Structure 1
Amino acid sequence: MGELEKEVGEKRLETPDKLFNKGFIGMTVINFVVYLVYYLLMVIIAVIAQDQLHATLGQAGLASGIYIIGTLFARLLMGKKLESYGRKAVLRYGSVFYLLTTVAYLYVPSIGILYVVRLLNGFGYGTVSTATNAIVTAYIPKSRNGEGINYYGLSTSLAAAIGPFIGMVLLNLTNFYFIIGFSIVLITITTIASFLFPVKNIVLSAEHRKLIASWSLESFIEKKVLFITFIAFLMGFAYSSVLAFLSSYAQIIHLVPASSFFFVVYALVITATRPLSGRIFDTYGENYVIYPSYICLAIGLLLLSFTTSNWMLLLSGAFIGLGYGTFMSNGQAICLKKCEGHQIGVALSTYFIGLDLGLGIGPYLLGELRRVMTFQEIYRIASLLPVVCVILYALFYQSKISLPKLQEIKGEK
């Protein structure tokens, strides 16, 4: 354990107070490109499956969703093996695999082959993103975890807005092969960067190596973050209603032009507020950030269900950005607060499994409700989930350090 703590300490001491160091910036940029390609391909793959492979709507939906299955497998396996394989190796060879499986899109003669390529590409994406999420923590000063994770989370949020926008523009102006070529160029750059990037591995004790070598549930799932992971599942489930149905809903309420700016507003709001939310997290504790995120998401989804005009649609996007966007990064910061050292990889993997499951299962279950409900009713049901999160969080979550204790410590200093 002493070696482990020494290694972690050395990495923290490289940049004791400076947040925007080379390591932090480099890993954030790599993560941005990885997520950008993920979102770019996600919005076009169903269209391609139907237009070029003559797939049914159900088959096209499976082609999109099977990606998440590959991602979940990667998070489970790499979350467990990250430290034993080494962060450096997982990042580098995961990037190579992500690149090769993206090249494989150039040869998809049938819907069956597309399923295989999507599954493997999802595994590559999950591997690289699991590695970047753990590696970046070594470059964040411990006293600025909340602020650092929120800045890092901007790479994901901006990719979620810019990726779909680029994908739709390229789909209208070019063709599938040009889009894949563009994606290959981006991933090639990040793959080269991952080999040039100086990643340090954590030195594990014999006890930790024994745990990783076992196939017990504890080696795959970090129990300390199970509660916040379940909350992440509910939040992801609620947000999936936006990702899955916004375009169809906008057509029904005749607000298609405004809907194209929905995620732009979402991204702008997150960009403007995330640094502040990170400082609040570090200064006053997670409760002062997490509770508002639940409330904002509930307001945003409820407002979306009553939307009849452009300004209401964009305002709902702002609230949803404040809600889900703020929670996503600060939930990750809670995981860092709960765990240290060798636990970080498994903890973050566990957390993102919850988010991915919510985003993956939500569209299917809510889509089944669409048979008997209107979109407005679905969004009202989705708005109840953040309220459930408020209740569960208030009843069962215990912060490691309360505000009075924090003030006491500050007073002593």
Structure 2
Amino acid sequence: MKKQKLWTKDFLSISLSSFFLFLSFYYLLVTLPIYSLHELNGKPSQAGLIVTIFLLAAIVIRPFAGKWIELYGKRIVLISSLSIFALGSLLYYFANTMNGLYLLRFFHGIGFGMATTAAGAIVADIIPESRRGEGMGYYAMSMNLAMVIGPFLGLTAMEQWGTSVMFSICIFTAFFSLFSGLIIKLQKPVKTSSKVVPSIDNKGLRGLFEPTAISIALVAGLFALVYASILSFVSVYAKEIGLIEAASYFFVVYAIVMLIARPFTGRWFDQYGANVIIYPAIVCFASGMVLLSMADTSLSFLLSAALIGLGWGTLFPSFQTIAIQSAEPKRRGLATATFLSIFDIGIGIGSFLVGVITTKIEFSSLYFFSSFFILGGLAVYYALHGKKTSLKNKNESSEPLLKANG
């Protein structure tokens, strides 16, 4: 049987668009708190709100974005959201007060939330069904690469070239994301009469959330609590243990391992199913956290990055693929919105909890105990999804025997 094509123009375009979108996100994630403290004379607590307000806007808007995708089509929502995001990037030049920056961050977060929802729904339709795990893995890789490049580029721009150049680069990345989105060509949705009575699926909360995606989204949100401690605080921890020079290479190693593993893990997901990939990835993630908690040399610190990159870098696209596959094709936009909203809530809560917990215990202890939390996630995944997958595979494998005996 001929292998279905994955690397189409539309797939490359949506991956590039997401890469530049997330590049801008991570770029501002590390630079705006510093900008608010040094340029706007803000307080540390105010600087923390810059990230919270942005994510809050994205979380609030995503269910509505999923609904709008059903009504108006994926491409219209994508282009509209990327336009909002690009406009928001232009306005940073004029945000000269903390309150003005808060308002802009909320506006910018709306564009981000809509764009990530629409892009996830589009890529789910573009990827061939037989290569869904592989394709989603490569798509997620574009976002993970942005996580590596964005902070490095942002801090370099701020330190070497100043605020004006920093915001100019932000504008460039946002508009490149919009340009890549404009290249995408999708089939226009079939127009329906305005007199048609809305489907029961579109009424109430079911019109804003996709129920089939909630269970796996809760699993992802659970692991996001721990991942938030890596994303936001691993550089702080590195400074504490005297490995600040190695900190800049943490996500580089993370990305390299992820790049090497992605072609294999994606194909294995498609060939053997989710459980074969997810259980080992959870153990790998937990092992990386244990090693990170005990790291006292650059080698052990970066080896933990490799294990975490292999573990979490496999888990996230696998969870998102499950969320999309569980939903009907027409509700993939809502499934993506539901998944990302719950995941972002996990990141937000995790960042807050880490800030509170580390006033009581050291980062090394936090990372060590987090590994047990991750291993506990094995049971949660099994209860919410893994058990159903095992039963389904067992039934499918027994069908040929039943037919033969029949």
TM tier, shorter chain? Answer: over 0.9
Q: For residue 44 of structure 1, what is the amino acid of its counterpart?
A: T
* Structure 1 position 210 matched with structure 2 position 199: yes
Structure 2 residue matching 1:342: 3-state secondary structure = helix
Tell me the equivalent position of 2:90: 103
Rounded Cα–Cα distance in structure 2 between residues aligned with 1:400 and 1:221: 26
The alpha carbon displacement at 1:203 in A equals 4.0
**Contact 2:10–2:183 at 8 Å: present in 1 too?**
no
Rounded Cα–Cα distance in structure 2 between residues aligned with 1:31 and 1:271: 17
Q: For residue 166 of structure 2, what is the amino acid of its counterpart?
A: I
Rounded Cα–Cα distance in structure 1 between residues aligned with 2:167 and 2:200: 40
Tell me the equivalent position of 1:375: 363
The alpha carbon displacement at 1:16 in A equals 7.7
Tell me the equivalent position of 2:34: 47
Tell me the equivalent position of 2:235: 247
Aligned 1:117-132 pairs, distance under 5 A: 117-132=104-119
Q: Deviations over 1:17-56 (max 9, x none)?
A: 1111111111111111111111111011110010001111
Rounded Cα–Cα distance in structure 2 between residues aligned with 1:290 and 1:360: 24
1:72 to 33, 36, 59: 59
Cα root mean square deviation, aligned: 2.2
Rounded Cα–Cα distance in structure 2 between residues aligned with 1:96 and 1:399: 40
* Structure 1 position 308 matched with structure 2 position 299: no
Q: Deviations over 1:318-365 (max 9, x none)?
A: 111112111110111111221131110111111111211111111111
Rounded Cα–Cα distance in structure 2 between residues aligned with 1:56 and 1:190: 32
Q: For residue 138 of structure 1, what is the amino acid of its counterpart?
A: D
Tell me the equivalent position of 2:185: 198
Q: Deviations over 1:302-326 (max 9, x none)?
A: 1111111101110111111112111
Q: For residue 347 of structure 1, what is the amino acid of its counterpart?
A: A
Q: For residue 37 of structure 1, what is the amino acid of its counterpart?
A: S
Q: Percent identity?
A: 31
**Structure 2: any 5+ residue segments left out of the alignment?**
none
* Structure 1 position 279 matched with structure 2 position 253: no
Tell me the equivalent position of 2:336: 348
CA 1:201 to 1:383, structure 2 compared with 1: closer, same or farther past 3 Å? Answer: farther
> When the two structures are aligned, how many residues end up with a matched partner?
397
Rounded Cα–Cα distance in structure 2 between residues aligned with 1:19 and 1:401: 30
* Structure 1 position 294 matched with structure 2 position 285: no
Q: For residue 119 of structure 1, what is the amino acid of its counterpart?
A: F
2:74 to 79, 87, 105: 87
**Contact 2:246–2:301 at 8 Å: present in 1 too?**
yes
Tell me the equivalent position of 1:167: 154
CA 1:252 to 1:223, structure 2 compared with 1: closer, same or farther past 3 Å? Answer: same
**Structure 1: any 5+ residue segments left out of the alignment?**
1-14
Q: For residue 299 of structure 2, what is the amino acid of its counterpart?
A: W
The alpha carbon displacement at 1:66 in A equals 1.2
1:225 to 197, 205, 213: 213
Tell me the equivalent position of 1:62: 49
* Structure 1 position 23 matched with structure 2 position 13: no
Rounded Cα–Cα distance in structure 1 between residues aligned with 2:107 and 2:254: 30
